[in-house]
């Protein structure tokens, strides 16, 4: 089996496993909304128009970091509970190839959920007058 096929099949299996996890799904939607709400209130309290740039950039970075770290931590814990962590470490493939699909899966899922959260109307936004 080629390395590219191994990474592709492993990524697909990892993605299917994490899509079934309600903890990851709930957290990856709640974190960005929480940080966006905090950024909105920081912007309203600030005097400078540049406050919005800094607050939104900070909220995006905090949301991404918290989603990735929580998803990666729960994936590692899940592997320990299932007893497959030892098998991943002892796999005949290079360890980096074993970890690459899980890493790419986590990143893609977090980006996908952030885009979904960004498309939702924010609960504290005022509706625009038409």
Confidence at residue 12, expressed as pLDDT on a 0 to 100 scale? 84
Does pTM surpass 0.75? no
Res 118: pLDDT: 64
Query: In the predicted model, what is the mean pLDDT of the chain?
Result: 76
Domain interval for residue 84: 3-119
What's the rounded Cα separation, in Å, for the pair 97 and 26?
Answer: 29
What pLDDT does residue 122 have? 55
Residue 15 CB coordination number (10 Å): 17
In the prediction, which pLDDT does 126 show?
A: 52
Span of 20-29, 68-77, 91-100 with lowest mean pLDDT: 20-29
User: For 50-65, how does the pLDDT look when each residue is reduced to its tens digit (9 = 90+)?
Assistant: 777 777 777 777 877 8
Inside any domain, residue 125: no
Alpha carbons 4 and 66: distance in angstroms, whole number: 29
* Domains of the chain: total: 1
Q: Is residue 127 part of a domain?
A: no
Q: Which residue has the higher pLDDT, 2 or 110?
A: 2
Residue 110 domain flag = yes
In a domain, 24, yes or no: yes
pLDDT in tens, 112-124: 766 766 665 555 5
Classify residue 106 by burial, with Cβ atoms within 10 Å: 0-12, 13-18, 19+: buried
3-class secondary-structure state, position 121: coil
Residue 41 belongs to a domain:
yes
> Is the model's pLDDT at 28 over the cut of 60?
yes
């Amino acid at each position: 089996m080629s390395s590219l096929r191994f990474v592709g099949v492993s990524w697909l299996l990892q993605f299917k496993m994490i899509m079934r996890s309600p903890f990851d799904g709930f957290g990856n939607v709640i974190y960005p909304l929480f940080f966006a709400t905090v950024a909105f209130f920081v912007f309203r309290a600030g005097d400078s128009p540049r406050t919005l740039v800094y607050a939104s950039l900070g909220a995006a970075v905090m949301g991404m970091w918290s989603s990735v770290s929580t998803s990666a931590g729960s994936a590692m814990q899940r592997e320990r509970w299932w007893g497959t962590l030892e098998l991943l470490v002892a796999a005949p493939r290079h360890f980096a190839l074993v970890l690459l699909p899980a890493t790419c899966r986590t990143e893609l899922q977090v980006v996908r959920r952030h885009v979904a959260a960004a498309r939702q109307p924010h609960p504290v936004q005022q509706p625009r007058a038409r």
